[in-house]
Amino acid sequence: MAQVLIVEDDPQIRPLLMRALDERGHAVASAATGMSGLSAAVETRPDLVILDLGLPDVDGGQVLTMLRSVSDVPVIVATARDDDPSLIACLDAGADDYLVKPFSTAQLEARIRAVLRRVGGGRREQPLTVGGLRIQVAARRVTLDGRELDLSPREFDLLRHLAERPDEVVTKRELLTDVWHQAWGGSDKTVDVHLSWLRRKLGETAAEPRYLHTVRGVGVRLVDPTD
Ligand code: CA
């Protein structure tokens, strides 16, 4: 759920939008003019702004341009003007998405979700998960069924590389290139040794694999054993 700022002058539409988003669990604030919307966006730092283009004091497009010079808050432009040029101008000026009035609250909610998902990727990192494995890439932490694993840097890189492409067979050549940064040379044995250490830490063996499956003569793949 998000903190949403609605900048909309229409006295009928504004409370409707506020109620709809409030019912969906968002924390909602509003402004009825461009300038008050701009200062609210700067002061309250919402997660997302819904910006009407037809405002009484300043045109929404100008509000957007001013806002962009001080903030990268996601903005969804709402407009009754469905002419291409003004929408394209808004997207060029830094709007993340747009809605043409009249729109349903379901449409609005879908756009909000999509925009927050897109911008959220950079800010709040989603861990990689495969079965009971949970890998926090930036923090370089791994848990298996909630228990923290003590991996060496190389084991971590190896596991992460495989977890980024679950179910795919990754060749040892590729692992030597991407994990060991040995584009030429390097030995399969190096990979085998680290794989066996990693297996031990995952509590499995090559003979009875759960996550790490060797594909003889080709490479290795990480699978979700709970699938
Ligand atoms: Ca308006």
Transcribe 147-204 into DSSP letters: EEP---HHHHHHHHHHHTSTT--EEHHHHHHHTS--SS---HHHHHHHHHHHHHHHT-
How much distance in Å is there from the Cα of 5 to the middle of ligand 1? 15
- Can you give the pTM of this predicted structure? 0.55
- The domains found in the chain, sorted by start residue, are 3-123 (3.40.50.2300), 152-222 (1.10.10.10)
How much distance in Å is there from the Cα of 88 to the middle of ligand 1? 18
| C-alpha span between 40 and 208 (Å, rounded) | 59
* pLDDT tens figures, 143-197: 999 899 999 989 999 999 999 889 999 999 999 988 888 877 788 889 999 999 9
For the chain, the C-alpha Rg in angstroms (whole number) is 25
* pLDDT tens figures, 90-110: 888 889 988 988 899 889 988
Select the highest-mean-pLDDT range: 27-41, 76-90, 164-178: 27-41
How much distance in Å is there from the Cα of 83 to the middle of ligand 1? 16
Transcribe 203-224 into DSSP letters: T--SSS-SSEEEETTTEEEE--
How much distance in Å is there from the Cα of 118 to the middle of ligand 1? 27
How much distance in Å is there from the Cα of 97 to the middle of ligand 1? 17
| C-alpha span between 143 and 102 (Å, rounded) | 47
How much distance in Å is there from the Cα of 112 to the middle of ligand 1? 20
Helix (H) or strand (E) run with residue 49 in it: strand 48-52
Helix (H) or strand (E) run with residue 172 in it: helix 172-178
